Amino acid sequence: MAGRIRERDLIIPALRAAASRPGGMITTTELIAVLADEFAPDGQDADILDGRHDTYFSQKVRNLVSHKASSTSMFNKGYAVHSPGNETITITDAGRAFLAQVPDE
């Protein structure tokens, strides 16, 4: 992908990844792997964060959950729910309806 990957670029692919799983549920760890395969981050996005064991890209995926209170988040819009106990993201009926309106790439 040309340029830096933005957090907002991950929302639709994250919803699609959840929708493709049994029960519409995916763990954050699984989501990082799926989106890393899809986006093939390079440059700074592939760099390891200082003092951490994860990349800038994986942190952006985690930020989807961390920023769930944001007005533009997929959780605040009702497209998905996050279960902190098992670190899963589950797509909702509203999320499936939203994806049905998004053109295939």
pLDDT per position as a tens digit, 51-102: 888 999 999 999 999 999 999 999 999 999 999 999 999 999 999 999 999 9
Percent share of the chain, pLDDT over 70:
97
- pLDDT tier at 14, thresholds 50, 70, 90: very high
**Cα separation, 64 vs 73, whole angstroms:** 7
> Which amino acid, 92?
T
pTM score = 0.92
Domain assignments of the chain as residue spans, ordered by start: 9-101
In degrees and rounded to multiples of 5, residue 82 shows phi and psi of -110, 130
Instruction: Kindly report the CATH number that applies to the domain delimited by 9-101.
Output: 1.10.10.10
Task: List pLDDT tens digits, range 27-55.
Answer: 999 999 999 999 999 999 999 998 888 99
